[in-house]
Chain A
Amino acid sequence: MNEEGEVDDSLHPGLSEDKIKELYHLMMLAREFDEKLFKMQRSGKIGTYASLKGQEACEIGSGYALEEHDWVVPSFREMGVFITRGADRVKLVQGWMGDTRAFQGDENTRDLPIAIPIASQALHAAGIAWASKIKGEKSCAITYFGDGATSEGDFHEALNFAGVFKLPIVFFCQNNQWAISTPRKVQTASETIAQKAISYGIKGVQIDGNDVLAVYKATKEALERARNGEGPTLIEAITFRLGDHTTSDDASKYRSEEEVSPWVQKDPIQRVVKHFQKIGTWSDEYGAKVKGEVEKEVEEAVEKAMQIPPPGPEDVFKYIFKTLPKDLEEEQKELLEEVNEKKSLQDKGDAV
């Protein structure tokens, strides 16, 4: 789908228009969550937040191509993937409140918690894919990272391991042009990131990351290859981070309005709207309906998340080891006593 929303039929991934509407709905939902979380950080309701604005096509398109039993190994900017995977909407908010219960799941959980250390998760994904292969399962792993991550050793080690052992894995690089303030050209002298795949003997593809259909198609094909034992793929999806790196950052310090504004024109969501307009399935009522639905969904999730009691002091020790060692039990006891003591002082109106 080009920037005007015109689809090249010879490359069409075969998704029905209803499915494309579903993709549009998911992208709108991700955008709504993103904008809401940004505001919540500004009003002190959540911690530091990493915006995905402008990268919705990458995340929804790739997430949509996954099977339920596939593994998602994210960095920290992939809320759109989780949304597409049907993640609990309340937990999406809770996860930004410093509460790890948001990442708690059952034995069928295939979505890993976010990983902050850049590129490290790529190796975990390789190990997950490796285990699937050893166990003879058909599950693949997909791991996400940015252009900055491709400078890290872990990225290279992961591609190398995956290549040598032909692991069922997809490396999805959201090349959003900026690693905080460092532009893509400072990360590597390579003309593309995709070409790095060649040196590991694996397949590399570069796609328009703002074209949700292209992202879907490339991911789907990469997963098929992985599932058929044909090994890993590195996908470089060209996109642009419309927002700051995180809420702790001010991107206007290192990039100009002239650089950002063309990408605003290339907004991946607007492209899908143009497509609907081209084929005559768009109406303002439809647009308003979707907008209303996603607003409601986000409002409800936020409301519920705000009502969750914060984790208690016993949670500090709860999940470190399966069985708490004696000395840690003692530390836990001390903390609980301290908390109670502080509480009784407060109840009496005394200073803590």
Chain B
Amino acid sequence: MVAAINQALKQEMSKDKSVVLLGEDVGVDGGVFRVTDGLIKEFGAERVIDTPLAEAGIVGASIGMAVNGLKPVPEIQFDGFTYQAFHHIKQHMARFSQRSSGTFHLPMVLRAPCGGGVRALEHHSESPEAFFVHSQGIKVVMPSGPYDAKGLLLSAIRDPDPVIFLEPKKCYRSFKEEVPEEEYTIPLGEANIKREGKDVTIVTWGAMTRVCLEAAEKLKEENVDVEIIDLRTIWPLDTEKVIESVKKTGRAVIVHEATRAGGMGGEIAARIQEKCLYNIEAPILRVTGFDVPYPQFALEDYFMPDVFRVVKYVRRVMSN
């Protein structure tokens, strides 16, 4: 996925001179995950900018750049440090268009690695997507693999509105996918049916998508036919596709790495029961991180939803 994102950035920067990258160590070092590797050589230090170590500064300055005609793609080095910039995200990135009655749209994409499972230090394994959804005025995107990452990122950079693009670090290098060399886009706001099935719908996104796919294979042995929806874009939510699927299967499990209370799972469950209560045959269940701060890595395997837990919950909805 690292290579796919790198290629998307490279292609869009070649095509559109207004795209600039900025962040900590994104230039000479090519980013701590090497996502921006080599781009400074190609586009120079004025468009691939190593900034001082200041997250609010990176996002705040990007907002100004977007106001003044550029398409900045700031990187925050880790999910847990987006909080240092949270006031710019919530107070300004989300509101500039509203505040100026549409005069200043912000065509910017804030990229950040997200999620756990890679034995990282504290604050390096967070899933903050619900915070950003609750900010409103921002599109929130999370790819589940290399192919989606490239297509979604190209759409995000071309989108006239501000986007937060969360990259599951678990997907950075753990598996390969065929990614076309040429440009292609995947529309924002549209979920992807990753696996068709008729018995139960799993709604998920990011790194959990692969966990669910694996769980589905296991459940197949038990004659449970799982449909998996990868949201791709967490906001705006593709409610329609979720409802369509649940109407078909009659059962739903939502799987996300973020903690449960206040998480997107609750929102999706609410929408399902609002729109198709009489089609559902079992309670809607959520498989999520526990309601504790993300534990340090000696404990993270207990926290992270895994195939075992997903299978357990699907069995539970199937028994109703």
Does B57 contact A157, Cβ atoms closer than 8 Å? yes
Point out the residues of chain A lying under 8 angstroms from B103, CB to CB: 103-106, 109
Point out the residues of chain A lying under 8 angstroms from B102, CB to CB: 104, 318-319
| A interface footprint on B19-61 (CB within 8 Å = 1, 0 otherwise) | 0100000000000000000000000001100011010110011
A310, CB-defined interface residue at 8 Å: no
Point out the residues of chain B lying under 8 angstroms from A130, CB to CB: 61, 64-65
Point out the residues of chain B lying under 8 angstroms from A126, CB to CB: 57, 60-61, 64
Does A328 contact B236, Cβ atoms closer than 8 Å? yes
6 closest Cβ pairs, A-B complex: A127-B64, A123-B60, A325-B236, A131-B68, A157-B57, A127-B61
Our pick among A153, A320, A327 for the contact of B237 (Cβ within 8 Å) is A327
- 28 chain-A/chain-B pairs, Cβ below 8 angstroms: A103-B101, A104-B101, A112-B100, A115-B92, A123-B57, A123-B64, A126-B57, A126-B60, A127-B62, A127-B66, A127-B67, A127-B72, A128-B64, A131-B65, A131-B68, A132-B68, A134-B70, A135-B68, A135-B70, A160-B57, A161-B54, A319-B101, A320-B97, A321-B97, A325-B189, A326-B236, A327-B236, A327-B239
Extra pairs beyond A127-B61, A131-B67, A134-B47 (16, CB < 8 Å): A71-B68, A103-B101, A106-B103, A109-B104, A120-B88, A123-B64, A124-B63, A127-B64, A129-B64, A131-B64, A131-B70, A134-B20, A154-B57, A157-B60, A319-B98, A319-B101
A17 to chain B, nearest CB (A): 37
Does B69 contact A131, Cβ atoms closer than 8 Å? yes
Point out the residues of chain B lying under 8 angstroms from A57, CB to CB: none
| A interface footprint on B87-120 (CB within 8 Å = 1, 0 otherwise) | 1100110000111111111000000000000000
Point out the residues of chain A lying under 8 angstroms from B92, CB to CB: 115, 117, 120, 124
Q: How far is the CA of A117 from the CA of B60 in the complex (A)?
A: 12
Q: Taking each of A105, A127, A328, which has the highest tally of chain B beta carbons within 10 Å of its own beta carbon?
A: A127
Say whether, besides A131-B70, A160-B52, A161-B54, A320 and B98 are in contact (CB < 8 Å).
Answer: yes
B35 to chain A, nearest CB (A): 21
* A interface residues (Cβ-Cβ under 8 A, vs B): 71, 73, 100-101, 103-106, 109, 112-113, 115, 117, 120, 122-132, 134-135, 141, 153-154, 157-158, 160-161, 164, 315, 318-322, 325-328
Q: How far is the CA of A104 from the CA of B96 in the complex (A)?
A: 11
Q: How far is the CA of A101 from the CA of B102 in the complex (A)?
A: 9
Q: How large is the interface on B (under 10, 10 to 19, 20 to 34, 35 or more residues)?
A: 35 or more
Point out the residues of chain B lying under 8 angstroms from A115, CB to CB: 92
Say whether, besides A127-B68, A131-B65, A120 and B100 are in contact (CB < 8 Å).
Answer: no
Point out the residues of chain B lying under 8 angstroms from A161, CB to CB: 51-52, 54, 57, 61
Does A320 contact B136, Cβ atoms closer than 8 Å? yes
Say whether, besides A123-B57, A134-B46, A327-B239, A104 and B100 are in contact (CB < 8 Å).
Answer: yes
Say whether, besides A157-B54, A161-B54, A327-B236, A124 and B64 are in contact (CB < 8 Å).
Answer: yes
B160, CB-defined interface residue at 8 Å: yes
Q: How far is the CA of A157 from the CA of B58 in the complex (A)?
A: 9
A287 to chain B, nearest CB (A): 38
Does A160 contact B54, Cβ atoms closer than 8 Å? yes
A-B pairs under 8 A by CB, number:
138
Point out the residues of chain B lying under 8 angstroms from A127, CB to CB: 60-68, 72
B291, CB-defined interface residue at 8 Å: no
Nearest residue, chain A, Cβ from B160: A322
Nearest residue, chain A, Cβ from B108: A127
Point out the residues of chain A lying under 8 angstroms from B99, CB to CB: 100, 103, 113
Q: How far is the CA of A113 from the CA of B98 in the complex (A)?
A: 10
Say whether, besides A126-B60, A131-B65, A322 and B161 are in contact (CB < 8 Å).
Answer: yes
Our pick among B88, B104, B239 for the contact of A123 (Cβ within 8 Å) is B88
B149 to chain A, nearest CB (A): 22
B250, CB-defined interface residue at 8 Å: no
Does B67 contact A124, Cβ atoms closer than 8 Å? yes
Nearest residue, chain B, Cβ from A169: B64
Does A120 contact B101, Cβ atoms closer than 8 Å? no
A101 to chain B, nearest CB (A): 5
A96 to chain B, nearest CB (A): 14
A312 to chain B, nearest CB (A): 13
Point out the residues of chain B lying under 8 angstroms from A319, CB to CB: 97-98, 100-102
Does B189 contact A158, Cβ atoms closer than 8 Å? no
Nearest residue, chain A, Cβ from B90: A117
